[in-house]
Amino acid sequence: MNTWNEGYFTDSTYTYGYYRELSPNFMRWCLLVNGIAAPEITEDSCHCELGYGQGVSANIHAAATAGKYFGTDFNPAHAAQANELAEASGADANFFEDSFEEFSERDDLPQFDSIGFHGIWTWVSAENRRHMLEVARRHLKSGGMVYNSYNCLPGWAPNAPLRELLSICDRYKVYGGGDNINERVASAFKFVEEVIAAEPAYAMVAPSFKAYFEKLKNHNANYIAHEYLNLDWDLMYFADVAELCQTAKLEFATVAFPAETGTAYLGEKGQEFFKKISNPIVREQLKDYFINRQFRKDIYVRGVRRLSNTEVFDKIFSMRYVLTTPAAEVPMTMVLNGREIILAKEIYRPLLEYLQEDNFRPKDLREYFMRGKLNANQLLEALRLLVQAAHITPCQSDAAVKRAKKSCERLNAHICEKSSFADTIRFLASPLTGGGVEVGRFHQIFLAQYKAGNKTADKLAEAAWKIISRNGERMMAAQTQKLLETDAENLAYLETMAEKFLTRLPIYKALML
């Protein structure tokens, strides 16, 4: 058993995910759209991420966001990966492998404008949570932002025993477990399957128990190991987390969930009940009951300052926005906290078409607002929903874009080069937005080859086939799940993919990928 890991699962590295909520630009927008003052992000800003995993989010934000980046993750393999990406981008990033306690005690850290910890809070000990808050207490600027996401109650209550079954099987080697991650996860899954088959009373009174277990089978072994096999896994209510954060002078500001505003999504009875509740902490806690929330994404601020409606409209409408989904493909319905919302076509279609004009060129909304087709509140609500669904994304200033362009180009070139060998990092950095954009492996290969001069679908397919056939790989037909045998079959399939890539290319260009 390792001693330096303090119970956290370190026998394999974490997944290569990207989380936009860790972006200082996204945090800032969420605050502003909810009427809360947020720090300006400049080249003098400093940002931090605790528990950065493979460093994908941290490095994308370091490359694409003005300022300096710092972070720690006590898994040395994670630190090595994060620093490799930082070296590739040339961004001003400093990634350590300190424990949270060691990091909190460093005397060479600046004051941070933003600090993020995604998916860490639940999976570490109470002592480590105190050290995380100590980083914020000692190193967060007045007015600075903290993002914290974690599993929460009451949503997790019915399925928490499932996690305990998986963990206890692994800890006590009930079925031997095996030496590698796949074997250990397979053993834990087999154990749970046999428990459920024996019809324990709990599975009868918690009908979601079995269904949730079936969903887990769709995740890879590394994800299961890190999420379910740790020694520490503490479920908390929002109110208890908020009280702990107050010890570091952190005040709950809003959720990193732009569409969640007001109480309309709670239903008529819920809305009527909430009229009786004025305390913001109680209201927020009650929301978790009404929507049965399992995972929270919260933004805290050291010193919350409220903005007037006029200030909110000025700041939000003067920002530029980029459309990241073709207007015709944006559905006029979305699900918000389990409820379907129908988007009014007369409001949303003209706005989307406006943003698509001139090959998706980013635009501010002052001119659109001045046309008088929507009032300020209607436009603000449309922005909330479209940003929530990631159909549009707020943009940085021209000066910030210019500063980030070279480091993003270098990082993206490195990621695209890696995609020639494996499907690992599925995100690229956009200097326009200051954040990440999901771009799958083959679109990364096509993007690199397009920049190398292969401009047509057939040329892109030929170039991609040379790369993957050199690795001994073949394409698998999506519909039949069968490997394609001949060169001609593979080329034809890749050409179809390249044609789809070319239809997406105007958006990639607008995002400056």
Is 176 contained in some domain? yes
Which of 197, 225, 253 is the endpoint of a domain? 225
Rounded Cα distance between 25 and 69, Å, is 14
Residue 367: inside a domain: yes
Indicate whether 218 belongs to any domain. yes
C-beta separation of 398 from 429 below 8 A: no
Instruction: Tell me what the pLDDT averaged over the chain comes to.
Output: 93
pLDDT at residue 28 is higher than 70: yes
Q: What range defines the domain where residue 472 resides? A: 402-510
Residues 431 and 457 in one domain: yes
Q: Tell me, what's the pLDDT at 177? A: 67
**Residue 208 pLDDT grade (very low, low, confident, very high; cuts 50, 70, 90):** confident
pLDDT of residue 14: 60
pLDDT digits (tens, 9 = 90+) for 81-120: 999 999 999 999 999 999 999 999 999 999 999 999 999 9
332 and 210 part of one domain: no
Mean pLDDT of 233-246: 97
pLDDT in tens, 305-348: 999 999 999 999 999 999 999 999 999 999 888 888 899 999 99
Final residue of a structural domain among 196, 225, 254: 225
Does 9 map to a domain? no
**Residue 485 belongs to a domain:** yes
Q: Is residue 334 part of a domain?
A: yes
CA atoms within 13 A on the CB side of 122: 23
State whether 30 and 84 are in the same domain: yes
Pair (57, 118) in one structural domain: yes
For 54, residues 6+ apart whose C-beta sits below 8 A from its C-beta are: 13, 14, 15, 16, 17, 78, 81, 82, 425
Residues 365, 486 within the same domain:
no
Say if residue 134 is in the same domain as residue 262: yes
Spatial separation of the C-alpha atoms in residues 183 and 181, rounded to whole Å: 5
Cβ burial, residue 47 (10 Å; 0-12/13-18/19+):
buried
| Same domain assignment for residues 150 and 252 | yes
Final residue of a structural domain among 171, 206, 225:
225
Q: Is the pLDDT of residue 264 over 80?
A: no
Identify the CA nearest to 77 among candidates 60, 104, 55, 62.
55
The two structure tokens encoding residue 297: 């994404």
Which tens digits make up the pLDDT trace of 52-75?
999 999 999 999 999 999 999 989
Residues 273, 145, single domain; the answer is yes
Mean pLDDT of 465-470: 95
> Considering the domain boundaries, does residue 11 fall inside one?
no
**Do 513 and 412 form a contact (C-beta atoms < 8 A)?**
yes
| Least confident range of 10-14, 354-358, 421-425, 427-431 | 10-14
Both 358 and 385 in a single domain?
A: yes
**What is the distance between the alpha carbons of residues 454 and 260, in angstroms, rounded to a whole number?**
44
The three state secondary structure string of 431-450 is CCCCEEEECCHHHHHHHHHH
Of 141, 116, 6, 121, the C-alpha closest to 65 is 116
Mean pLDDT of 399-403: 96
Token duo for residue 494: 């890749």
Q: Are residues 134 and 111 in the same domain?
A: yes
Q: Do 364 and 424 fall within a single domain?
A: no
| Structure token digits, residue 224 | 């299961």
Quick one: 247 and 346 in the same domain? Answer: no
List 161's β-bridge partners, or say none: none
User: Which tokens is 203 given?
Assistant: 């599975």
Does 340 reside within a domain? yes
Instruction: Say how many domains are in the chain.
Output: 4
Lowest mean pLDDT among 283-292, 367-376, 393-402: 367-376
**Does residue 8 have a pLDDT over 60?**
no
What are the tokens at 398? 């021209």
Mean pLDDT of 415-430: 96
CATH code assigned at 73: 3.40.50.150
pLDDT for 7: 46
Largest CA distance in the chain: 69
